[in-house]
């Protein structure tokens, strides 16, 4: 692979960017789509679409829908590395600060207009305008991993973006699903009033109809130009086989199950683990599971009474029988994840996978040393995600055996999120959405508490290590950094990671081609319905 | 009468003002805000502050309240935070869905409940009466969402007679719309007819014990005539009040039922608004509901003298 890269570039490619840029250089020419099928493929979402503005006013449902219509210069592959999408190749300058994207030939928007670098520039200028309220602005304006200092469109096929200093995560941040994949859209997507109007992208499906509170319809884009090769995450070969895809809003899980069984929907993403056994014997239903990078565990506010003592936090950790807990709450679908680095990450090595054994006498000893006398420790949890609630109940019960008095306080999700953001809680059972690089997994909990109240790990030394991991290219060196971080994390234990979520989906037997994956997002292209 | 109606309508203004103040303050007392939800587990303090400023949430609460109130006064309920839609047209659109289910259900429940109630009262303490009382008690004890799920599983999944999910406006495809509405209407009718039956039965029993009923029977009137001419009209007033209360309550939203049957009604709009902390939606829905309640009660009061001439609308 590397021999196809320009030698001068190869020397200077950085970390994740190295892998991504290598792949981009190898990006194959576009190919014609496979013969389309017909019919309407009906999937479900559990709440209405918020907006189709990529990475703005979004949630998981909105991301899932927009990703069928909009594409970025790069996108995540199945293995969560970054691959080419609208860019045919990307060149990185010798100093690692200038990315030159060469666009693929013959790409057109849903309105029939050709994609040019001017469109890319337009979209990126809008992303970087604070008024847009792009979720990921902080990753590109210098507050996060990179600062964009210049953008140019020197010719219709070339887009150049310059960042202040090298960043190993730059392409990965561009591809982030919650950032809308930094999708490129036509300027007519914006209405005359300057507000987002209709998504006009380059994806395999086009915007059709939104029946608010009921469903969202997308139709096949006949002019879609797919990449060659097999399907690969959000990139690779994509074919809009079904003529129409419909996302039906079903908020109630029992109704959703009934809808799947009755054939009112064809695909049900986010299928409940507890229902897997029930569908095993059904000939009309197929299921799929895949580990994801979402991290579930217990967060501590290390300035709060009682839990500010690391011995208490460690005692709670020692009281937990991880195997039993994870096996029960995930119905045996996964095993304990003992590090902030998810099991599916390439940086989850022996250090991260080291087992945490349950040790009740050890926990009691630590509690005695800390002078703990059964004072209540409040743990916030929500019932929005039942596995979290179940997990919290298990932890409460297991901790009791060591003499730890955990009081559960069940809150509605928005209320819990508010406390999380303000950092005003003692402990909390929480789920972090997938961060697709190990440095970002640590970044989500580490930082200065004075300015970022949601952070729980306020350790300048750890932050320095994370900053290095965001810049350093060498995989082995990065692994060493993550091993060091893990050791520091274990020492201070601001969070007890317990398990990574599992993407579970069920679909009817007349559907073929649907797959679950680590990013846990439904993909209805390349899916056939008979 | 006109003066009375006008006075009642004028009285709704301070009522709605108080409701709007209570709604505004209570909504803001709920922990969590829409911007935090938008950013989830990410979002820098600067981004969140910018988002709050863009929505005017950084202003003092009384400033926000005054702005909202002055806009409401001219019929502008604002725009949703989640997708920027105008709130009032959205409420009216969703209300049509809820109203179509509720009005049909309450009308059917009234007919069924009053009829069964009078039969039970007429046959008081018989096996039939005990059966009716037992059945209504069971129906009342079942939460509507569970009853809805049972019907959905039976008629939608097991028998496959009716669609499990979906909605089509009656104006678009009347026949299909009826199919979609059948299960939610049946659920609500079943549940509310239990309430109406019990009230009707109790009122009818009281009237059946009165002397003029004995007199009517002594005159040789048939039982059907006694019940239809002398019992029902005189016993209906309390049931009418109850039906008004049920109507006002249900028109404000049948969120759970709408969630089970995936109906895009007012209740689901309100519930979604609460979960998303979409303040304009929540405030708009609650104010609209309060207005509905006031109107329904006014209508009930105006019609009350028809069923009980001793009470004057004045």
Domains of chain A are 7-250+510-529 (3.40.190.10), 291-502 (3.10.105.10)
d(CA A142, CA A124): 15
Residue A352 falls in which region: left (phi positive, over 0), alpha (psi -120 to 50) or beta: alpha
In eight-state DSSP terms, residue A40 is: E
CA distance A441 to A346: 13
pLDDT surpasses 60 at B224? yes
Residue A57 has its nearest CB partner, among B46, B82, B165, at B82
Residue keyed to tokens 């404000």: B252
CA distance A247 to chain B (A): 12
Nearest CA in chain B to A56: B38
> What's the pLDDT at A516?
95
User: In this predicted model, what pLDDT tens digit does every residue of A256-285 receive, in sequence order?
Assistant: 999 999 999 999 998 999 899 999 889 999
Q: How far is B90 from chain A (nearest CA, A)?
A: 9
Across A96-110, A307-321, A505-519, B291-305, least confident range: B291-305
| Percent of chain B's residues with pLDDT above 70 | 98
Q: What is the mean pLDDT of residues B239-263?
A: 86
By the CB < 8 Å criterion, does B82 face chain A?
yes
**Per-window interface: B 276-295 vs A, CB < 8 A:** 276-277
Locate the chain B residue with the closest alpha carbon to A424: B31
Q: What is the pLDDT of residue B308?
A: 72
Q: Per-residue confidence at B15, pLDDT binned at 50, 70, 90?
A: confident
Band (pLDDT 50/70/90 cuts) for residue B75 is confident
For residues B201 and B194, the answer to whether their CB atoms sit within 8 Å is: no
User: If pLDDT is split at 50, 70 and 90, which confidence band does A7 have?
Assistant: very low
Best of B27, B28, B30, B31 to disrupt the A interface (most A CBs within 10 Å) is B31
pLDDT for res A35: 55
The pLDDT of residue B310 is above 90: no
Q: Does A326 touch chain B (CB under 8 A)?
A: no
- CA A477, A479, A483, A488 dihedral sign is positive
Give per-residue pLDDT as tens, A444-485.
Answer: 999 888 888 889 999 999 999 999 998 887 889 999 999 999
Mutate to test the interface with A, among B32, B168, B173, B276 (most CBs of A within 10 A): B32
Q: Which 8-state DSSP code applies to residue A196? A: B
Long-range Cβ pairs for the range A310-313 (8 Å, 24+): A310/A491, A310/A492, A310/A493, A311/A366, A311/A367, A311/A369, A311/A370, A312/A366, A312/A367, A312/A370, A312/A372, A312/A377, A312/A404, A313/A493, A313/A494, A313/A496
Average pLDDT estimate for B85-114: 93
If contacts are CB pairs under 8 Å, which of residues 251-270 in chain B contact chain A? 259-262, 264, 268-269
**pLDDT (0 to 100) of residue A37:** 63
Q: What is the DSSP string of A91-107?
A: EE-TTS-EEEEEEPTT-
For residue A396, pLDDT beyond 60: yes
Q: Is A109 on the interface with B (CB under 8 A)?
A: no
Alpha helical stretches, state H, chain B? 2-29, 34-39, 45-54, 61-73, 87-122, 127-141, 144-151, 174-208, 211-218, 223-225, 232-251, 255-260, 266-275, 279-307
From chain A, the residues in CB contact with B42 under 8 A are: 135, 178, 433, 444
Q: Which chain A residue is nearest to residue B37, measuring alpha carbons?
A: A414
Q: Could you tell me the two tokens for A307?
A: 């839990």
pLDDT higher than 90, residue B307? no
What is the distance between the alpha carbons of residues A225 and A239, in angstroms, rounded to a whole number?
9
pLDDT of B313: 54
Please answer yes or no on whether B165 and A250 come within 8 Å at the CB atom.
yes
pLDDT the model gives residue A372: 95
What is the average pLDDT across A50-56?
92
Q: What does pLDDT average to over chain B?
A: 88
Residue A12 pLDDT: 37
Report, as an integer, the average pLDDT of A275-303.
Answer: 92
Q: Which pTM value belongs to this model?
A: 0.85
Q: What is the pLDDT of residues B103-149, one digit of tens each?
A: 999 999 999 999 999 999 999 999 999 999 999 999 989 988 899 99
Which residues of chain A have a CB within 8 Å of the CB of B143? none
pLDDT at B222 over 80: yes
**pLDDT of B312 higher than 80:** no
DSSP A281: T
Q: Is A433 on the interface with B (CB under 8 A)?
A: yes
Inter-chain residue contact A418 with B36, CB threshold 8 Å: yes
**A 36-65 residues inside an 8 A Cβ radius of B:** 47-51, 57-59
Residues in A closer than 8 angstroms to B38, CB to CB, are: 50, 57-58, 135
What confidence category does residue B81 fall into, taking pLDDT thresholds of 50, 70 and 90?
confident
Question: A520 or A336: whose pLDDT is higher?
Answer: A336
Distance CA B143, CA B145 (A): 6
Residue B243 CB partners (closer than 8 Å, separation 6+)? B106, B110, B196, B300
B164-181 residue pLDDT tens: 888 988 888 889 899 999
- Mean pLDDT across A299-318: 94
Q: Decide if A432 and B41 are in contact by the 8 Å CB cutoff.
A: yes
B161 touching A (Cβ < 8 Å): no
CB contact under 8 A, A212 and B90: yes
SS (HEC) of A50-71: CCCCCCCCCCHHHHHHHCCCCE
Residue A131 CB partners (closer than 8 Å, separation 6+): none
> Which numeric CATH code is attached to B99-268?
1.10.3720.10
pLDDT recorded at residue A30? 43
Residue A409 touches chain B, beta carbons under 8 Å: no
Report A:465-524 residues touching B (Cβ under 8 A): none
Give tens-digit pLDDT for A126-145.
999 998 989 899 889 988 78
Say whether residue B42 is in contact with chain A using an 8 A CB cutoff: yes
Which pLDDT score is estimated for B314? 54
DSSP category for residue A234: T
Mean pLDDT score, A349-353: 93
**In the beta sheet, which residues pair with residue A209?**
A217
Question: Does residue B50 carry a pLDDT above 60?
Answer: yes
- A433:B41 CB<8 A: yes
Packing angle of the helix pair B144-151, B174-208 (nearest 10 deg): 130
Which of A278, A454, A501 best probes binding to B when mutated, by most B CB atoms within 10 angstroms?
A: A454
Q: Out of A316-330, A343-357, B284-298, B299-313, which region has the weakest mean confidence (pLDDT)?
A: B299-313
Distance CA B7, CA A519 (A): 61
Read off the pLDDT of each residue in A226-245 and give the average, rounded to a whole number: 94
Q: What is the mean pLDDT of chain A?
A: 89
Give per-residue pLDDT as tens, B276-304: 889 999 999 999 998 888 888 888 888 87
Instruction: Check pLDDT > 60 for residue A24.
Output: no
CA distance B72 to chain A (A): 23
């Amino acid at each position: 692979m590397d021999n196809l890269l320009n030698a001068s570039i190869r020397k200077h490619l950085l970390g994740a960017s190295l892998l991504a840029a290598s792949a981009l250089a190898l990006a194959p020419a576009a190919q014609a789509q496979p013969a389309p099928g017909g019919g309407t493929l009906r999937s479900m979402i559990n709440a209405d679409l918020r907006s189709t503005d990529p990475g703005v006013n979004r949630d998981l449902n909105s991301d899932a829908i927009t990703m069928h219509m909009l594409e970025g210069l790069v996108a995540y592959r199945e293995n969560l590395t970054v691959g080419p999408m609208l860019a045919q190749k990307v060149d990185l300058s010798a100093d690692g600060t200038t990315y030159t994207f060469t666009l693929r030939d013959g790409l057109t928007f849903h309105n029939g207009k050709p994609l040019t670098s001017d469109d890319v520039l337009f979209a990126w200028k809008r992303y970087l305008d604070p008024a847009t309220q792009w979720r990921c602005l902080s990753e590109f304006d210098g507050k996060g991993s990179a600062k964009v200092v210049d953008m140019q469109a020197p010719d219709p096929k070339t887009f150049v973006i310059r960042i202040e200093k090298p960043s190993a995560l730059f392409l990965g941040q561009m591809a982030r699903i919650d950032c809308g994949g930094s999708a490129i859209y036509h300027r007519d997507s914006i209405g005359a009033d300057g507000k987002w109007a209709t998504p006009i992208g380059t994806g395999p499906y086009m915007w059709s109809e939104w029946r608010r509170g009921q469903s969202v319809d997308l139709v096949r884009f006949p002019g879609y130009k797919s990449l060659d090769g097999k399907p690969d995450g959000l990139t690779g070969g994509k074919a809009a086989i079904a003529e129409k895809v419909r996302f039906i809003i079903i908020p109630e899980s029992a109704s959703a199950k009934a809808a799947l069984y009755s054939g009112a929907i064809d695909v049900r993403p986010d299928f409940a683990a507890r229902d897997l056994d029930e569908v095993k014997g059904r000939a009309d239903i197929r299921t799929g599971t895949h580990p994801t990078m979402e991290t579930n565990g217990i967060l501590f506010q290390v300035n709060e009474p009682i839990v500010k003592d690391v011995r208490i936090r460690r005692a709670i950790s020692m009281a937990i029988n991880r195997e039993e807990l994870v096996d029960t709450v995930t119905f045996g679908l996964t095993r304990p994840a003992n590090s902030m680095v998810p099991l599916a990450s390439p940086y989850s090595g022996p250090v991260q996978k080291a087992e945490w054994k349950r040790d009740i006498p050890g926990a009691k000893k630590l509690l005695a040393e800390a002078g703990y006398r059964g004072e209540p420790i409040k743990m916030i949890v929500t019932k929005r995600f039942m596995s979290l609630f179940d997990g919290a109940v298990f932890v409460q019960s297991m901790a009791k055996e060591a003499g730890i008095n955990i009081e559960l306080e069940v809150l509605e999700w928005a209320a819990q999120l508010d406390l999380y953001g303000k950092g005003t809680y003692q402990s909390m059972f929480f789920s972090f959405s997938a961060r697709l690089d190990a440095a970002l997994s640590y970044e989500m909990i580490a930082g200065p508490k004075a300015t970022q109240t949601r952070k729980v790990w306020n350790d300048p030394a750890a932050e320095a290590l994370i900053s290095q991991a965001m810049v350093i290219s060498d995989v082995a060196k990065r692994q060493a950094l993550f091993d060091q971080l893990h050791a520091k994390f274990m020492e201070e234990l601001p969070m007890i990671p317990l398990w990574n979520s599992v993407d579970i989906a069920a679909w009817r037997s007349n559907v073929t081609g649907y797959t679950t994956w680590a990013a846990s997002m439904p993909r209805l292209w390349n899916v056939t319905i008979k | 009468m006109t003066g009375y109606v006008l006075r009642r309508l004028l009285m709704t203004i301070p009522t709605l003002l108080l409701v709007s103040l209570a709604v505004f303050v209570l909504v803001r007392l709920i922990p969590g805000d829409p911007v935090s939800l938008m950013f989830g587990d990410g979002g820098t303090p600067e981004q969140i502050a910018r988002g709050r400023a863009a929505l005017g949430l950084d202003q003092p609460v009384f400033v926000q309240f005054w702005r909202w109130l002055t806009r409401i006064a001219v019929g502008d309920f604002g725009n949703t935070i989640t997708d920027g839609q105008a709130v009032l047209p959205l409420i009216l659109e969703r209300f049509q869905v809820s109203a179509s289910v509720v009005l049909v259900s309450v009308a059917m429940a009234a007919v069924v409940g009053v009829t069964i109630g009078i039969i039970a009262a007429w046959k008081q303490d018989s096996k039939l009466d005990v059966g009716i009382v037992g059945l209504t008690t069971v129906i009342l004890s079942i939460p509507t969402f569970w009853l809805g799920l049972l019907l959905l599983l039976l008629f939608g999944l097991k028998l496959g007679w009716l669609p499990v999910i979906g909605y089509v406006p009656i104006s678009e495809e009347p026949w299909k719309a009826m199919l979609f509405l059948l299960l939610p209407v049946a659920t609500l009718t079943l549940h509310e007819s239990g309430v109406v039956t019990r009230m009707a039965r109790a009122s009818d029993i009281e009237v059946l014990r009165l002397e003029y009923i004995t007199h009517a029977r002594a005159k040789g009137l048939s039982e059907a005539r006694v019940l239809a001419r002398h019992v029902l009209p005189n016993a209906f007033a309390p049931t009418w009040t109850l039906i008004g209360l049920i109507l006002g309550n249900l028109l404000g939203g049948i969120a759970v039922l709408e969630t089970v049957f995936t109906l895009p009604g007012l209740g689901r709009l309100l519930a979604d608004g609460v979960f998303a902390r979409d303040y304009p939606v929540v405030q708009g829905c609650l104010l609209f509901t309060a207005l509905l309640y006031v109107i329904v009660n006014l209508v009930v009061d105006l019609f009350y003298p028809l069923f009980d001439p001793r009470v004057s609308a004045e």
